[in-house]
């Protein structure tokens, strides 16, 4: 939520009949300001739900001690997609037999995103590859027979706006050759 965002209005904040402006006190100190003439509440600086999601504070308005108004205000900071997903590791190493059957799961990739309600989508960005990834679970499996001793597979996770990549290094172990 950027600085200067309108939050709402505290009713009863107006100039007095004699033209004096009210005195406004916010308790505890919070990143909001109340406009003196109409009581409009604005953010004083940018807010981030991941840092703090709820603000509770009192607004005390007085007119030279004659009249006063006390309002309790609760502000719920909404979430926006402003953070990238993060893999649990930036590099993974896997060793497996070269004759590992197709469809065998070799790695469960995991990523997190501190933003709420983001659906993460996994994919392989280095092609061609004899591996497949489940786009919703991050499960990496063998898709076709292996024919090389090693593979470098670049994987990606996306939250719809931000992408993060990692490497999976796969070593295919060949059986010992039988000398006849």
Q: Tell me, what's the pLDDT at 13?
A: 66
- Residue 129: count of CB within 10 angstroms of its CB: 19
Please report which confidence band the pLDDT of residue 180 belongs to, taking 50, 70 and 90 as the band edges. very low
Alpha-carbon distances, residue 5 vs 1, 43, 56 (angstroms): 7, 5, 17
Tell me the average pLDDT of the chain: 88
- Whole-number pLDDT of residue 12: 67
**Dihedral angle of Cα 39, 41, 44, 48, to the nearest 10 degrees:** 170
**What pLDDT is stored for residue 17 in this prediction?**
61
Give the model's pLDDT for residue 20. Answer: 63
Mean pLDDT of the region 135-152: 95
Beta strands in 67-174 (DSSP E): 67-76, 86-87, 91-97, 105-108, 111-112, 121-124, 131-133, 139-142, 150-158, 163-173
Residue 125 has pLDDT above 70, yes or no: yes
> With bands split at pLDDT 50, 70 and 90, how would you rate the model's confidence at 118?
confident
Which residues are 150's β-sheet partners?
Answer: 171
SS3 116: coil
Query: Please, which residues bridge with residue 135 across strands?
Result: none
Q: Residue 170 has which token pair?
A: 């796969």
Which pTM was predicted? 0.76
Which two tokens mark 175? 């059986």
- Counting Cα atoms < 13 Å in the Cβ hemisphere of 110 gives 3
Mean pLDDT of 97-124: 95
Q: Regarding beta strands 163-173 and 91-97, do their DSSP bridges make them parallel or antiparallel, or are they unpaired?
A: parallel
pLDDT tens digits, one per residue of 2-37: 889 999 888 766 656 666 667 787 888 899 998 877
d(CA 160, CA 5): 25
- pLDDT value of position 19: 60
What is the distance between the alpha carbons of residues 65 and 45, in angstroms, rounded to a whole number?
Answer: 30
Tell me the C-alpha distance between 69 and 58, whole Å.
10
Q: What is the pLDDT of residue 27?
A: 85
Count of residues making up the chain = 180
**Tens digit of each residue's pLDDT (9 = 90 or more) over 51-91:** 999 999 998 887 766 667 888 889 999 898 999 999 999 99
């Amino acid at each position: 939520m950027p600085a200067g965002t309108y939050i709402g209005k505290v009713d009863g904040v107006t100039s007095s009949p004699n033209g004096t402006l009210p005195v406004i006190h916010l308790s505890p100190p919070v990143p909001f300001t109340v406009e003196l003439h109409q009581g409009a509440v604005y953010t004083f600086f940018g807010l981030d739900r991941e840092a703090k999601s709820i603000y509770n504070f009192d607004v005390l308005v007085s007119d030279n001690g004659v009249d006063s108004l006390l309002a309790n205000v609760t502000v719920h900071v909404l979430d926006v997609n402003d953070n990238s997903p993060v893999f649990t590791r930036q590099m993974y190493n896997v060793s497996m037999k070269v004759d590992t059957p197709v469809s065998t799961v070799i790695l469960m990739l995991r990523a997190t995103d501190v933003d709420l309600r983001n659906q993460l989508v996994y994919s392989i960005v280095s092609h061609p590859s004899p591996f497949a990834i489940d786009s919703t679970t991050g499960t990496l499996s063998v898709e076709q027979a292996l024919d090389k001793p090693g593979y470098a597979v670049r994987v990606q996770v996306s939250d719809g706006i931000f992408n993060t990549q990692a490497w999976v290094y796969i070593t295919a172990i060949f059986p010992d050759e039988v000398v006849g």
